[in-house]
Copies of this chain bind each other. A is one copy, B any other.
């Protein structure tokens, strides 16, 4: 099977989440993504979570479907090999994705001298050259201050590395846009993507800059409530929790009809002097709504809530930890075509997501394993750099590659 990006080759010099996730996204769509690493592994090769024997489940998760070459990147000879790989010829190649500093041997101008139409996407910390990682973007752009209980003593960090994820996907957009431009013009280029800017752009997109600058207000934490509409978590009779939301008027009508609580909600409208058909009014009267809805849910088990809300087309979801997600949720089972079972060498057999995009005209690639470090060193040196066997043997013996 080929994948929709068949014919595209990306060389990746990377670590951690953003750039590897970007490369993996392209690999899962059929691009040939070659990740080079130092011999023994990059800085993220043993990143937690790890198995009992120390294999990184994190690394395996972020490098699915790539080819791996291990090179001594401190030696001039190793750097020359990596440079040759980055700048190798071919119409769908000459794309380089990296979060390494684009300086020294990885300076764009130096690489461009070897391939004039090279596309290089560099994920950096901030625009000014300063460092930033997901955690230090997150604390600075304001989300921890509005996460968790209202009036809490301290901010609450996001655990999902949303800025890394967004940056990795944006990097794919950047590479595809630049390749499209190159097909039309023949021109390659350097593309810079600051992680901090990814965070700031989302803050702007959600209207939060305007809220502060135009309205002069700073949003406060409101627990698990959805800002500006109705949404809250509730405990069920069997000790589980559910999230219930009514953002659209249709969703609100469904909730009212399904619970049969229309008369009580009418009292809430009188009490709060609001019209609960209006989204913002539902936010203003959210405590009143919850006072009516909470007991209804508390008298029912999760399964009873599920049946009623599913039948009534209510917008809701169960809270699940990862174990519950994997054990109970059919959307996380192999009934979902997203999910395949992969036997990952040295780790074992487990559920692995495929590409999230389902292209009707191109078969979705099966779930893919991550490579072992250096698994494709020989085939890459022979196939792309066209080195003969004896030269590869010599490089191995002198520990320039592994």
Do residues A47 and B279 form an inter-chain contact, with CB atoms below 8 A? yes
Do residues B356 and A180 form an inter-chain contact, with CB atoms below 8 A? no
Do residues B49 and A219 form an inter-chain contact, with CB atoms below 8 A? yes
Most buried by B among A189, A313, A331: A331
Q: List 28 A-B contacts (CB under 8 A).
A: A4-B177, A4-B178, A21-B205, A24-B205, A25-B173, A43-B248, A48-B279, A48-B280, A58-B228, A61-B205, A127-B336, A136-B315, A139-B241, A139-B242, A158-B158, A158-B160, A162-B165, A165-B165, A176-B177, A183-B183, A189-B361, A190-B360, A201-B353, A203-B325, A205-B353, A209-B350, A218-B321, A218-B323
Q: In the assembled complex, which residues on chain B have CB atoms less than 8 Å from the CB atom of A57?
A: 207-208, 210-211, 214-215
Do residues B141 and A326 form an inter-chain contact, with CB atoms below 8 A? no
Query: From A335, which residue of chain B is reached at the shortest CB distance?
Result: B128
Min CB gap A194→B, angstroms = 7
A142-150, A259-267, A285-293 - the one binding chain B: A142-150
Min CB gap A82→B, angstroms = 20
Known pairs A143-B159, A155-B241; list 19 more (Cβ under 8 Å): A24-B205, A43-B249, A47-B229, A48-B279, A56-B207, A61-B208, A127-B331, A131-B313, A139-B243, A140-B317, A140-B331, A155-B233, A156-B224, A162-B166, A165-B165, A174-B359, A189-B360, A189-B361, A196-B331
Q: Closest 5 A-B residue pairs measured CB to CB? A: A48-B228, A136-B317, A57-B207, A57-B210, A189-B361
Chain A 166-184: CB-based contact to B (< 8 A → 1; otherwise 0) = 1001101110111111011
Do residues A361 and B187 form an inter-chain contact, with CB atoms below 8 A? yes
The A319-343 residues at the B interface (CB cut-off 8 A) are 319-326, 329-332, 335-339
Do residues B128 and A336 form an inter-chain contact, with CB atoms below 8 A? yes
Q: In the assembled complex, which residues on chain B have CB atoms less than 8 Å from the CB atom of A218?
A: 321-323
Q: In the assembled complex, which residues on chain B have CB atoms less than 8 Å from the CB atom of A279?
A: 46-48
Q: In the assembled complex, which residues on chain B have CB atoms less than 8 Å from the CB atom of A136?
A: 243, 245, 315-317
Q: In the assembled complex, which residues on chain B have CB atoms less than 8 Å from the CB atom of A202?
A: 160, 165
Do residues B169 and A170 form an inter-chain contact, with CB atoms below 8 A? yes
Do residues A204 and B127 form an inter-chain contact, with CB atoms below 8 A? no
The A245-288 residues at the B interface (CB cut-off 8 A) are 245, 247-249, 279-280, 283
Q: In the assembled complex, which residues on chain B have CB atoms less than 8 Å from the CB atom of A159?
A: 143, 146-147, 158, 221, 227
Do residues A191 and B145 form an inter-chain contact, with CB atoms below 8 A? no
Query: From A62, which residue of chain B is reached at the shortest CB distance?
Result: B205
Q: From the candidates B24, B144, B321, B344, name the one contacting A146 in the complex (CB within 8 A).
A: B321
User: Quick check: is A206 within 8 A (CB to CB) of the other chain?
Assistant: yes
